[in-house]
Structure 1
Amino acid sequence: MRLFFSPSRDELEWAADATDCDEHLLALLLMLKSYRRMGCFPALEDVPEMVVDFVRRAVELPDCSSACGRGRGRTPPTPPSARSAA
């Protein structure tokens, strides 16, 4: 796993500059490393938990960090105006 999913220093710097929070950083690194390994961008929920944990630990993110959008379906959130009308 280390061979395929360990972010390089340059990848980490690039991703950190491109994101604004730990969750987005983790998600971007997961997409980058998955694309390099598989040649496609998987849905975040399809990335195995062991890969998520490995990348999270490799870049020293807190255990509570999860990839943005992971574990959620593809259904967009309900707008606040629609929630209050229900």
Structure 2
Amino acid sequence: MPLTVKVNLVPLFRGLVTGAQPFAVAQEVVLMFETEVETLMISYNPEKALSEITGLLSRIITFTPQTYRVIVSVGNGYEHKNYL
């Protein structure tokens, strides 16, 4: 049975973006994090999700042209519902 946890994604994504900053700088890409909400609770399998999110962010940075910006944003996508 896969392990699932319920966590606030805002600090998780803030930490992933902070951790990817040196890689983005090396690629000459500006990496930014912004949020419209302070809390976005979700249940997920951390082992699977973290590796997939980190891999996706790495690929985005790799294929973004130099001097471009990548903005990771967390916010309300629809009224009364939180989306990433």
Q: TM-score range by the shorter chain?
A: under 0.3
Q: Give the structure, 1 or 2, with the largest relative contact order (CA under 8 Å, sep 6 or more).
A: 2
Higher strand share: 2
Larger radius of gyration: 1
Higher helix share: 1
